[in-house]
Amino acid sequence: MTREEKARVTRDSLLNAGCAVVAAEGYASASIAKIADLAGVAHGTFYNYFEDRQALFDELLPYEGLRMRDRIEEIARGAPSGMQREFARFEAFLNYVIENEGFYRVLYEAEIFAPDAHRAHMDNIVNGYKGTLRRAMDEGRMHRLDPLQAECLIYQILGMRAYSAMQIHFAGEAAEKLAIRDAAVETYRFLIGRSLLSGKDIR
Amino acid sequence: MTREEKARVTRDSLLNAGCAVVAAEGYASASIAKIADLAGVAHGTFYNYFEDRQALFDELLPYEGLRMRDRIEEIARGAPSGMQREFARFEAFLNYVIENEGFYRVLYEAEIFAPDAHRAHMDNIVNGYKGTLRRAMDEGRMHRLDPLQAECLIYQILGMRAYSAMQIHFAGEAAEKLAIRDAAVETYRFLIGRSLLSGKDIR
Amino acid sequence: MTREEKARVTRDSLLNAGCAVVAAEGYASASIAKIADLAGVAHGTFYNYFEDRQALFDELLPYEGLRMRDRIEEIARGAPSGMQREFARFEAFLNYVIENEGFYRVLYEAEIFAPDAHRAHMDNIVNGYKGTLRRAMDEGRMHRLDPLQAECLIYQILGMRAYSAMQIHFAGEAAEKLAIRDAAVETYRFLIGRSLLSGKDIR
Amino acid sequence: MTREEKARVTRDSLLNAGCAVVAAEGYASASIAKIADLAGVAHGTFYNYFEDRQALFDELLPYEGLRMRDRIEEIARGAPSGMQREFARFEAFLNYVIENEGFYRVLYEAEIFAPDAHRAHMDNIVNGYKGTLRRAMDEGRMHRLDPLQAECLIYQILGMRAYSAMQIHFAGEAAEKLAIRDAAVETYRFLIGRSLLSGKDIR
DNA sequence: CATGAATGAGAATTCATTCAT
DNA sequence: GATGAATGAATTCTCATTCAT
């Protein structure tokens, strides 16, 4: 293994350890000590790879967020098209949260502990959606909205996602979580489908 | 002023100082020292009124949350009825957040720093909505939903609120905030109005 | 009840509360708050009766010590005479400790937390013993010892008492405590009886 | 000096500083600040070596106790045998206390501030004595006692030691201390020698 | 006298970060 | 690059004592 590879491995260990600790205990108690211990390196080593603790925190959300996004898009691509794809995305998000409980924490605590990264993450997601919406509008699959309204719509859509995730998070048992997921998907379909379709059928 | 009144005043000073500090810097850096200093009392005095720091944190959300809720309901009561009232609520919430920027922080950081209080707050709001929904359904003003689906709907509605607030929070200038507010209200009207007003069942 | 009587009642409440708290939790955590609460008075009232916390601590040992001493002497007086009386005293002390577990604490922690009172208590006990010894020597019931040696003997006797009490204190069950007590009395009889009753001088 | 050696040195500094502070002012006012300052390290360094303050306290008695025990046994081994050795032990203990005034404090306050360590120390000493007694009994050098009585005897012997040490501790001047020591040894010889020898001469 | 709120000087403890090895 | 001991600022919390009511 070259010097460079070894460095990458160490860096990834720290990043993964960071995720694991934040997932388990939250940013607030994700100390360098815990992260370095879990990564199997000395405390000082941490600072060879990251400026400071905040620097790691700022990388956590992109690191995890992209993994989630890829997973979701992979699934969404399986859907026939348009609106169905959005519904698939919504469901895939909830599934992802159920299966990666810790990710929920990495994500929602980021607003507080890594606000810059969170803002970037939001912009990222929102911009992705803007493209999707533009295409749908161009192809006449939905109402035409001006840019501001499109952005508002996206934020509201993301809010629905996030709060359905919270609702699932509050549920105690696995079976309950799944039931909520199904009902939330149904509700989402109903709210979005009815309104955005401008009179046409869901496709 | 009687001794009891003075005690109440001191307690309120601490509570208000707590709100102010959290609003300005977040829970994480709301130290006893800052709160007590702002309240104009000695550090030790804090502990005459609150078991510990967490105890204050746990009161912040109810304290501020009820104030907001009352303000919103007061405004909503002005609306003719039903759906219009809900739109008024949504708008009032956004206005409240714009006018009380700090409240946004007290509210959304609570999920992390005062999880019990946050959960209680959510249950509170959700239950309030359940009643509203039941009445609307009983009076045939909206689709009949089973309890689980109603709850999902409520969470999604609250998510829309919250993320529209976040969108506003991200905006830099006051004028921009107002523009987003108006567009968000429009979007909300569109999403909710179209779907819930329809006479058909959910599929 | 006259003003003076009421004052005495309050003072006694505080003293008793002090004993109770020290007995239960030790001097170190016997705070004014706990003592005043248990006595049923306000914190400030404490300072109408005692200079400060130490002043109460300094009264605890005399207060409890005299009670014990009286009880022991009462029992010892029942013994025929001389040496038997001393054995009775020893046994009575152990019984007192068994029956008043808390007293053990008030007594032995006093050396640290109320050193002056402890010293006075020791002097008191030692002087009492000096008289007893002098009488025994005058009546030819025991060796004649010079004053220093008499004092040494007394301290050693008190040490035997104290450490037998500690041994009992270490025992977990009541039955075990009683068995230790009996064996300790036997041992004491053996050590003291054999040596002090002999007609020869110490060399 | 290797890193490991330096660490040991630091740890020992803290331990010695702990002893010194406790010896001078007692456990109650042996704050981390004082200990760390005396050891010449930062406060935080303390916690690199000890879990908390109690952890240091719990090591003080073993640390000092073993030193004393070794010193005493070393001296006792110089005595011809049996009973003489025990008298030498007693005298050596008193000398140790006279020469290491602080140790007395570390030892007797431990019952309160490091009860576990104190209990362990007592068990240790008591068990050591049990072996000594068993040998003496096996070799016919003293009365045969059943185990419980042997234990009682040991506690009483230790009590004599401890209270003779207290008596010395109370004395103001060095000369007085030495006089008490001599008289206490004489008294001890008398009490123990006479009774335990089962009719035979002291050997 | 009684009250109990206010005080503020400490105490223990944590932990991000540095730096000599 | 890796190490991990040292640092010290910052934080929470306690409690004896005071004093205005």
Residue of chain C minimizing CA distance to D113: C28
Give the best residue of A94, A160, A198 to mutate against chain B (max B CB count within 10 A).
Answer: A160
Residues 6+ apart with CB under 8 A from D27: D57, D109, D110, D112, D113, D114
Ranges of beta strands (E only) in B32-79 are: none
Q: Which of A18-32, B187-201, C167-181, D108-122 is least confident?
A: B187-201
> What mean pLDDT is reported for chain A?
91
CA of D131 to C1' of F13 (A): 49
As a whole number, mean pLDDT of residues D174-179 equals 96
Q: Which of B50, B70, B89 is the last residue of a domain?
A: B50
The Å distance, CA of A151 to C1' of E12, is: 51
Q: Are residues D86 and D38 in the same domain?
A: no
Per-residue pLDDT tens over the stretch B40-59 = 999 999 999 999 999 999 99
Do B129 and B180 have their domain in common? yes
C83 shares its domain with C3: no
Q: For residues B184 and B114, state if they share a domain.
A: yes
Instruction: Answer yes or no: do B5 and B68 share one domain.
Output: no
Kindly report the CATH number assigned to the domain that includes residue D41: 1.10.10.60
Q: List, in sequence order, the alpha helices (H) in A26-52.
A: 32-39, 43-49
Higher-scoring residue by pLDDT: A80, D174: D174
Asked which of A20, A35, A50 is the last residue of a domain, the reply is A50
Whole-angstrom distance, CA of residue D12 vs CA of residue A6: 38
| Residue B176 in contact with partner chain A when CB distance is under 8 A | no
Read off the pTM: 0.89
- Backbone torsions φ then ψ of B200, nearest 5 degrees: -95, 165
pLDDT in tens, B163-196: 999 999 999 899 999 999 999 999 999 888 877 7
Is residue D65 included in any domain, yes or no?
Answer: yes
Q: Is residue A201 part of a domain?
A: no
> Do B73 and B146 fall into the same domain?
yes
For residue C94 the two structure tokens come to 């152990």
pLDDT band of residue A200 (cuts 50, 70, 90) is very low
What pLDDT, on a 0 to 100 scale, did the predictor assign at position B142? 80
Whether A48 sits with its Cβ under 7 A from any strand F atom: the answer reads: yes
Same domain, D114 and D167: yes
By CA distance, what is D181's nearest residue in C?
C152
User: Which of A107, A103, A9 has the alpha carbon at shortest distance from A49?
Assistant: A9
Q: pLDDT averaged over chain D?
A: 91
Residue C186 is assigned to a structural domain of this protein: yes
Report how many domains make up chain C. 2
The predicted model gives A172-191 an average pLDDT of 95
Q: Does A180 contact B at CB distance below 8 Å?
A: yes
User: Which nucleotide's C1' sits nearest to the alpha carbon of B33?
Assistant: F11
Spatial neighbors of D77 by CB under 8 A, at least 6 apart, are: D85
Same domain for B175 and B141: yes
What CA–CA distance (Å, rounded) separates C82 from D107? 35
Same domain, A32 and A66: no
Looking at the structure, do residues C18 and C62 belong to the same domain, yes or no?
no
Residue A203 lies inside a defined structural domain of this protein: no
Query: Are A4 and A69 found together in one domain?
Result: no
Residue C81, domain CATH: 1.10.357.10
Q: Do B187 and A109 touch (CB under 8 A)?
A: no
Question: Does residue A202 sit within a domain?
Answer: no
Nucleic strand F near CB of residue C48 (< 7 Å):
no
Asked, for residue A3, whether it belongs to a domain, the answer is yes
Instruction: Tell me the Ramachandran region of residue A40: left when phi exceeds 0, alpha when psi lies from -120 to 50, beta otherwise.
Output: left
Give the domain extent around D44. Answer: 1-50
In the prediction, which pLDDT does C136 show?
A: 86
Q: Which residue has the tokens 């003072």?
A: C11
Residue C202 lies in a domain: no
Domain-embedded: residue C158: yes
The answer to whether D31 CB is within 7 Å of strand E is yes
Please tell me the predicted confidence (pLDDT) of residue D201. 37
CA dist C191 and D160 (Å) reads: 12
Same domain flag for A142 and A176: yes
C-chain residues near D26 (CB < 8 A): 112
Q: Are 3 or more Cβ–Cβ pairs between D and C shorter than 8 Å? A: yes
